[in-house]
Amino acid sequence: MSYSYRMQRNLIQTAYFAPRGRARMYDLGMQMGQMYLSPYDRLIGFIGDAGSGKSALIHGMFPGLELTNDDDGVNVRPLPILDVTEQHGFYTPHTYHLDIRFEMGFTQPHILADAIMDAIRMEKRVIVEHFDLIRPHLPRNADLLIGVGEQVIVTRPTMFGPEPSELVDEVHRSLRYRLMAHTAEDLCEMHMDKKLMELCHHDDINHGFVMVFYDNPPQIDLRELERKVNADIAKDMPIAYEDETHVRIGDTIHLCGGPRTHVTTTGRVEGFRLCPEIIFDNQRNRYLLIGFVGEHSEERICKLQRIVQELDLRGPFIY
């Protein structure tokens, strides 16, 4: 048994911001695969609602793995794991994937559970989305359990837990803040100069978003930008996936790295507020445009402003 795996047995829980955008989710998945994945892991469970980015995270952790759900409009039929005991030879798969919520529309849960256990007994690896739905039918927990909401939670369960049900409420409850924040962020982009957007990078905070600028602060009227975005929210415009790099907001098609990670209409964005000043991050030498969503966004703005005043992070770039 490797030293790193022995150390992981002490893992209780680790959390990351769940980034918006497929490329950033791939990068996080790759990082998590290097840090937490062991060759001894046979059953890996993912928990999270539709649009949370589970599939992108799996692609990052397991490059080249063929997913069997229909996220990209392709359904792998018949489900390969159902015939795992009949597959022999050098070229049989080592890793299987299944989306329990999707597969339960075709196959009884106890049959899926039996197929999972057959694969594990054959020393195969099984990646299970919506693991909480199949856990009651399995005699064992996952070796590695990952929940995706506003944060990505990584834990290595033991006989004492945690059980998937303990993560379900947390990730499902928090996902709406991530969806609202991403929509608010894209609405801000729609009212910003195209040249300014080419200079913009993105970062994450709880219940909000950060737009990052290096070298120089953005020349923008933040109060007017907040007014325009709140006007869009009041219009309650429909939001829909357009393609892998664009989202449709109302009648506008907008460039977006995570077009599935949005609320369904702009009116579902609650409590949107922009920090009324550009913040200078002196630890990383960058300028930050910060927005919050949710019922406590006003309190978060006030807390941030107190921190800015105490650290004297304001300057001549306030607009």
Residue type, 81: I
Residue of 86, 81, 68, 154 lying closest to 124 (CA atoms): 81
pLDDT at position 318, please? 41
pLDDT, one tens digit per residue, over 172-184 is: 899 999 999 999 9
Indicate whether 245 pLDDT > 70.
yes
| Domains of the chain and any CATH numbers | 3-162 (3.40.50), 175-311 (3.30.980.10)
- What tens digit of pLDDT does each residue of 294-308 get? 999 999 999 888 888
Give pTM, 2 decimals.
Answer: 0.84
Alpha helices per DSSP H over the chain = 3-8, 22-36, 54-61, 100-103, 109-121, 131-134, 164-190, 194-198, 222-235, 297-311
Q: Is the predicted pLDDT of residue 317 greater than 50, yes or no?
A: no
> Each residue of 261-310: pLDDT tens digit?
999 999 999 999 999 999 999 889 999 999 999 999 999 999 888 888 87
